[in-house]
Amino acid sequence: MTTLTTEQRRRDFEAMLKRANRVRAAGQERLEMFPEADGLMLARLTEEVSDLCRGWHEAAHRASLGTLAPYTVGQVKKHAIQVAAHSLAALRDRTTEGYLAPIREMGHQLDDRDLGMDPAERIGWLLSTLGDLGTCYHRNLDPNGSITVFRLRSLTVEALCAALAADRGLWQEEA
């Protein structure tokens, strides 16, 4: 089992969240010039989650064979950060007041998602969270849209945990 303490895991999560927020902020100017409809944002998130899942599967397979290249690791981390950054952008558009604080709180309850797990389980969590988001993205099931906001936060946390696990080289479930 990884010897990371809970405090180290929290610090790592916070650092990865800051990185995703910088990516979101860097892309903000471009996005304001070309505002996207909600449907396009969801389509882009779907494509990025798909790229992340495909990359994770390939990296886990290569790691099991001992042929994992640094480029592959970099690509998986890039996809994970993109998913998190675009989820943050969607959150900011839906709830401008303190959208990062609840993610930090969720990150403090990582449930080992930032550690090693079976690749199919990690991919399953990402796809399940995306599916949950997709079912409520356009239909605000409550007046404040809080269900959509919660689902976006969950996808952000899943993506950040994938980025952390990739950064640590944890492609397979730990013994």
Q: Are 65 and 4 in contact (CB under 8 A)?
A: no
How would you write the pLDDT of the chain (175 residues) with one tens digit per residue? Answer: 468 899 999 999 999 999 999 999 887 655 544 455 667 888 889 999 999 999 999 999 999 999 999 999 999 999 999 999 999 988 888 887 788 999 999 988 888 999 999 999 999 999 999 999 998 877 655 556 688 889 999 999 999 999 999 999 999 876 5
Q: At what angle do helices 119-136 and 38-65 cross, to 10 degrees?
A: 180
Say what the pTM is: 0.89
Q: Are 35 and 123 in contact (CB under 8 A)?
A: no
